[in-house]
C-alpha cells in the first residue's frame, strides 16, 4: 500500500518511536514536583522546549505545548484577540486558512467581532496588499498560514508580516504544513504547529507567542505551560514530537529536492495521461511533497475508492466526497475545478516506483469512473435549437457538468445552455468547464429550487 496522504498525517518517524519508548520510563512523573522523578520529568520537558525553540526560531519562554495543533490555533487566536481587546475587535484571515482558524473566526464573529477574509488568486496565494488594504485602526490580529494544506501553495508570510508589523498588528502564522521543512521567515508574532504533520505522535501541538505580544489566555486559570495550555503535560509525546522535528529538519534539504522531482513528475504527466484535468496550486512556490489536480466528469469519492483498491491512499477536496455537497473552501476561494479532486501528498521516503505505478494506474481509474457515470467521450457534433435547458436539480457533482457536456453540441455557435442545479459545486465546476473548453460562461440567475448557470457556445 502506498500512503500518499502525508498532508493529513505522517507515519511516526523512527526517531520519534525511539524517543517515545525511552521517555515513557523517565517522563511519567509530575514535572512540577521537586522530588527525583519530578525533576527527571522536568529535565525532559525543558530539553524538549529548548530543542523546539531552535527549530521555531524563538525563546524557550515563548513556547508552550498544547494537546493538538487545532488547540494551539484556538488558544493563540483567542488569547491574542483578548489581549488586544482595547485596540479593537477586528480580525483578518485569508480565505484559504485551515478550518481551525476559520472556526475561531466564526466564534469571534458570533461574539460581536468583525472578520475580513482576504481573497486569494487562482494559485491559492494571497497578495500582501490584500492584508494592507484590510488593516484598520481597530484590527487586533491577522492570521496567515505558511503554506496551504490542500494545494501546497506557499504564502508570502515575510511580506505580510512586514505589513502587519508596520501597522502594529500581530501576525499569527499557522505553520502546521511547513515547519518540518524549515523555520518560518518574517517578523511574525505568534506561530502554531502540529506534531503529527512531521512524523511526531498525534496529540501534540505547539504555540509560540513572542515577547511583547499582548496575550490573555482564555478559560480557567492553570499553572501549566505559562497558563496557556491547561492540563498535565504528555511529556513522552512531547519529547518524541520534538525529536522527530529535529530529525526531519536534518533530512529536509535533501529530501525536499527528491520530493519536488517526484511531484513535478506528477504535475507534468497527469494532464498528458488523463484528458480534461486541471492541476491546481502554484507551480513554483509550493511545498515539496504536495500536488493537487481535478478531473472533469469524475465523482471524487468513486475515484478515491478506485485508487484505494489499487493500493494508493490519497485524499480529496471534492464536494463529491462530502454528504453536504459543499466543495472545499480552499478550491472555492481559488475558483478552480472541484469535481474529481485528488490531493497527492508524499511522505518523506516515498518510493519512486510507487509514484510511477500511481501514474500507470490513474488513467484507467479515471476512465472507469467516467464510464460508469456516462461521461461523454467527445462533444456532440450535431446542432439544434439556440437554447437548451438542462435540469440537474437534485443531482450531485459531477452529473450537472456531464449533462452540460452531453447537450452542448446541440446548440449552434452563439447559442446557450441553461443548467439548473442546486449543487454548490456547480458554481465552480461549470465556469471551470467553460475555461477548459474555450466557451463563454455568461453567469448565473436565481431559479426555482436552485440556480440557473448560463453557458454560451463561441466555437
Question: How many angstroms separate the CA atoms of 243 and 408, rounded?
Answer: 58
Burial per residue of 299-326, b for 16 or more beta-carbon CB atoms within 10 angstroms, e otherwise? bbbbbbebbeebebbbbbbbbbbbeeee
Burial per residue of 182-211, b for 16 or more beta-carbon CB atoms within 10 angstroms, e otherwise? ebbebebbbbbbbbbbbbbbbbbbbbbbee
Cell for 292?
Answer: 493537487
Helix (H) or strand (E) holding 355: helix 352-373
Burial per residue of 24-54, b for 16 or more beta-carbon CB atoms within 10 angstroms, e otherwise? eeebebebeeeeeeeebbbebbeebbebbbe
- 443 contacts 449 by C-beta, under 8 angstroms: no
Question: How many angstroms separate the CA atoms of 347 and 315, rounded?
Answer: 13
- 255 contacts 188 by C-beta, under 8 angstroms: no
Cell for 154?
Answer: 506557499
Backbone phi, psi, residue 152, to 5°: 80, 0
- Which of 295, 320, 397, 434 is flagged as catalytic? 320
**Who's near 161: CB < 8 A, 6+ residues apart?**
171, 173, 186, 187, 188, 189
Q: Cell 514530537 maps to which residue?
A: 241
Cell for 445?
Answer: 440567475
Question: How many angstroms separate the CA atoms of 92 and 112, rounded?
Answer: 15
Question: How many angstroms separate the CA atoms of 301 and 41, rounded?
Answer: 46
Catalytic residue flag (residue 58): no
Residue 27, SS3?
coil
DSSP alpha helix (H) spans, 192-328: 235-273, 300-309
Catalytic machinery residues = 320
Amino acid at each position: 500500500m502506498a500512503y500518499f496522504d502525508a498532508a493529513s498525517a505522517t507515519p511516526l518517524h523512527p526517531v520519534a518511536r525511539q524517543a517515545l519508548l525511552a521517555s515513557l520510563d523517565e517522563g511519567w512523573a509530575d514535572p512540577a514536583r521537586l522530588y527525583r522523578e519530578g525533576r527527571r520529568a522536568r529535565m525532559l520537558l525543558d530539553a524538549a522546549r529548548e530543542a523546539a525553540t531552535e527549530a521555531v526560531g524563538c525563546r524557550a519562554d515563548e513556547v508552550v505545548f498544547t494537546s493538538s495543533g487545532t488547540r494551539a490555533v484556538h488558544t493563540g487566536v483567542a488569547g491574542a484577540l483578548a489581549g488586544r481587546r482595547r485596540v479593537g475587535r477586528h480580525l483578518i484571515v485569508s480565505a484559504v486558512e485551515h478550518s481551525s482558524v476559520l472556526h475561531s473566526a466564526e466564534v469571534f464573529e458570533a461574539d460581536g467581532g468583525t472578520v475580513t477574509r482576504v481573497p486569494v488568486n487562482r494559485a491559492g496565494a494571497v497578495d500582501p496588499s490584500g492584508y494592507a488594504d484590510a488593516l484598520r485602526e481597530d484590527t487586533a490580529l491577522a492570521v496567515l498560514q505558511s503554506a496551504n494544506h490542500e494545494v501546497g501553495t506557499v504564502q508570502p508570510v515575510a511580506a505580510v508580516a512586514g505589513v502587519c508589523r508596520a501597522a502594529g498588528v500581530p501576525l499569527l502564522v499557522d505553520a502546521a504544513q511547513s515547519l518540518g521543512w524549515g523555520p518560518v521567515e518574517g517578523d511574525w508574532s505568534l506561530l502554531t504547529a502540529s506534531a503529527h504533520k512531521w512524523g511526531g505522535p498525534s496529540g501534540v501541538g505547539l504555540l509560540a507567542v513572542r515577547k511583547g505580544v499582548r496575550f490573555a489566555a482564555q478559560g480557567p486559570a492553570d499553572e501549566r505551560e505559562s497558563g496557556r495550555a491547561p492540563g498535565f503535560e504528555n511529556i513522552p509525546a512531547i519529547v518524541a514530537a520534538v525529536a522527530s522535528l529535529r530529525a526531519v529538519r536534518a533530512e529536509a534539504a535533501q529530501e525536499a529536492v527528491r520530493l519536488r522531482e517526484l511531484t513535478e513528475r506528477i504535475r507534468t504527466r497527469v494532464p498528458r495521461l488523463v484528458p480534461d484535468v486541471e492541476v491546481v496550486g502554484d507551480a513554483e512556490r509550493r511545498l515539496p511533497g504536495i500536488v493537487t489536480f481535478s478531473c472533469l466528469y469524475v465523482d471524487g469519492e468513486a475515484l478515491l475508492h478506485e485508487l484505494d483498491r489499487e493500493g494508493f491512499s490519497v485524499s480529496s477536496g471534492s464536494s463529491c466526497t462530502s454528504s453536504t455537497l459543499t466543495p472545499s473552501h480552499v478550491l472555492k476561494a481559488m475558483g478552480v475545478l472541484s469535481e474529481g479532486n485528488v490531493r497527492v501528498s508524499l511522505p518523506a521516503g516515498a518510493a519512486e516506483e510507487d509514484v510511477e505505478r500511481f501514474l500507470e494506474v490513474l488513467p484507467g481509474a479515471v476512465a472507469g469512473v467516467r464510464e460508469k457515470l456516462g461521461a461523454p467521450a467527445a462533444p456532440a457534433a450535431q446542432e439544434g435549437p439556440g437554447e437548451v435547458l438542462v435540469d440537474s436539480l437534485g443531482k450531485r457533482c459531477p452529473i450537472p457538468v456531464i449533462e452540460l457536456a452531453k447537450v452542448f453540441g446541440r446548440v449552434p455557435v452563439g447559442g446557450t445552455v441553461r443548467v439548473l442545479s442546486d449543487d454548490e459545486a456547480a458554481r465552480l465546476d461549470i465556469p471551470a468547464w467553460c475555461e477548459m473548453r474555450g466557451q463563454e460562461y455568461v453567469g448565473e440567475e436565481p431559479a426555482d429550487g436552485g440556480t440557473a448557470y448560463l453557458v454560451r457556445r463561441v466555437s
